[in-house]
Chain A
Amino acid sequence: MPRIAIKRLEKRYGDVPVISGLDLVMEDKEFTVLVGPSGCGKSTTLRMIAGLEDVSGGEIWIGDREVSSLEPKDRGIAMVFQDYALYPHMNVAQNMSFALRLARMPRAEIDARVRRVADMLSISHLLSRRPRELSGGQRQRVAMGRALVRDAPVFLFDEPLSNLDAKLRTQMRAELALMRQRVEKNMIYVTHDQVEAMTLADRIVVMNGGVVQQQGSPQELYEKPANLFVAGFIGAPAMNLLSARLVSSSGGPAASVGDLVLPLPERLQDRMSPDSNIVVGLRPSAIKPAGVGRGELPVNVLLSEYAGAHSLLIGDCAGQRVTVEVTSEDVRRGAGSALFSFDPEQLHVFEARTGDAF
């Protein structure tokens, strides 16, 4: 099973650069998720790996072969498309066996493989149906099945769940995660949904404007975002980002937000020049009722969104919008009405000019 390496990959449409100098390594059997906002070049990258799009520069290595000039069929990949791309004139069994029939595999083995994969995806009863006679979720499974029977070493997914309704999406996401445990392959998965990215990935690659912003495990990205973009993109509800100035106080480094002074993590001591503009990030879930953490955060709560076990409080802190995630239990007890607290160690600090994390 191969490792995929992308080196200085570029893509231009005419004079418009879409991907510029992309470097990525995807280890064997890793589930890599490319995530980023719409139009950032995720699909383009995936399609270049698949061979559906020519590269304008750079190299793509699958195993020990440079594949960027090979036909898709010679790259050893299977792909699931966003719109499923089933063959409308073939039934489910024919859709799934198309690649195997082209490869002139013996009939018996084709049947066995199709049956096994269909069982695994619970679509055995649909084998004789045409795509148009299937529901969205069923089509999705068939598309997955068509990729799985190939037993190709590399799997590519382009937003396979985005056409499903919210409930089905959650369900299929769980099934994908299950399937991924059973099928040990190199998988590259494109999505703009950071929840999908967090739940499925071994490694997340956050892209923006055709450039990799950060890559790492979901935990790394959540806990140590490398810059403002990643900080705002990963995690739901999104991290609170407050513009501030760096000041020195008696108790160590601190940030002034309006007339508020927030203590900063000790580890940042000496690493910053005083009086510079910074952005302070604090996850909604890291804000606790008053008295729990060392730092104090007064929030003028404007709105409370009840979401079952948790509630989101949306309010105003020194003139900037802040979201707080607390348990509904706390809300009922009246905790967290005006004064909240936080642990300074959980603050993220970014340089305002470059957006990079300190």
Chain B
Amino acid sequence: MISRQVLNRASPYVFIAPAVLITSIALVYPVLQSIWLSFHEWSIGTPPDQTRFVGLENYRWLLADRAFWTSVGVTLVFAGAVVLCETVLGVGLALALDRELRGMSIIRTIFILPMMVAPIVVGLIWRFLYNEQFGPLNQVLTGLGLPAMSWLSSPDLALVSVIIADIWQWTPFIFILSLAALQSLPSSAIEAARIDGASPWQAIVFIKLPLMMPVIVVAALLRLIDAFKVLEVIYILTEGGPGLSTEILSLHIYKTAFVSQQLGRASALSNLLLVMVMAITLALVAVNHLRRVATRRADAAEG
């Protein structure tokens, strides 16, 4: 007979076992496979038994590759810019639209729409908008007597254009999460702040934003992780060009794997990307945690 206590203690593990199993098959196995592959040289089309063990050669080659470092730079600029803009815009919109006016729910729904569009379609929409001859953007510009812009073909402007498209698509994500956070705030605390003399701005800065912060941090983190992995929109808009000006890492990986057909190097690249994303995520989580510990200390010191 197994005692009841043992059963009780075992039950949580029984319940999470299926999830652990599926995760390890779907997530851990590919990662291990990719790590294994990154130590080998293997081209598409050659049989697996022709793979050759090369040790750290793939990594050494990558770290010496200018294109890799350019791509890292582009990725960081892209991810940093989109997450920053989307967070500021999304939270700002949520704060602005959090009121009970007629038609507000329709406006909110419209703001959410871009997120529902498939990335490929988003790419096509913006390629049309950015088209230098027939695109609406340039037609408006020339209509106003301004010079037409080479949105996607100028190395300086292309990254900005790509960033704008991503902001258009993903600001709604931050927006809906912030709005949900905002609407679940205790309304009486905000009323108390009004009575305590807070202007609408002060209520936002001292009450609403701090209370929304946990949600904002998680939403921004999700966006950050996602921003490191965008592929379709940029692929359709610029294919990474002109030059390498919009070649973010995921696109670089794609090209290494399927254009240059170097699967070993592509795997090494993926692993570096994984490490980067993980490092940044952990760093942000740690900063957030330290901040909380610090306020806690300050509380204790004050009392």
Instruction: Enumerate chain A interface residues (CB-CB to B < 8 A).
Output: 50-52, 71-73, 77-79, 81-83, 85-89, 91, 93, 98-99, 102-103, 127-130, 146, 150
Contact = CB atoms under 8 A, between A and B. Distances in A.
B300 interface: yes
A85 B188 contact: yes
B189 A86 contact: yes
B189 A128 contact: no
A73 B196 CA distance: 6
Contacts of B45: none
A191 B101 CA distance: 32
Interface in B175-208: 186, 188-189, 191-199, 202, 206-207
Contacts of B145: none
Interface of B: 186, 188-189, 191-199, 202, 206-207, 210-211, 299-303
B194 A128 contact: no
Contact of A102 (B189, B196, B210, B303): B196
B210 to A, nearest CB: 5
Given A86-B189, A88-B186, A88-B189, A77 B303 contact: no
4 shortest interchain CB distances as A-B pairs: A128-B303, A85-B188, A99-B196, A73-B197
Nearest to B214: A89
Contacts of B193: 87, 98
A102 B192 CA distance: 13
A140 to B, nearest CB: 14
A85 B191 contact: yes
Nearest to A147: B195
A130 B188 CA distance: 17
Given A73-B198, A102-B202, A87 B192 contact: yes
Contacts of A82: 188
Contact of B195 (A78, A88, A91, A130): A78
A88 B188 CA distance: 11
A98 B303 contact: no
A150 B195 CA distance: 10
Contacts of A86: 189, 192
Contacts of B186: 83, 85, 88
Contacts of A87: 189, 192-193, 207
B192 A79 contact: yes
Nearest to A82: B188
A98 B194 CA distance: 11
A102 B196 CA distance: 8
B188 A91 contact: no
A87 B202 CA distance: 14
Contact of B210 (A50, A89, A93, A129): A89
Contacts of B192: 79, 81, 85-87, 146
Contacts of B301: 128
A129 B293 CA distance: 14
Contacts of B207: 87
B195 A50 contact: yes
A85 to B, nearest CB: 4
Given A89-B211, A102-B198, 11 more contacts: A50-B195, A73-B194, A81-B192, A83-B188, A85-B189, A86-B192, A87-B193, A88-B186, A88-B189, A91-B299, A93-B302
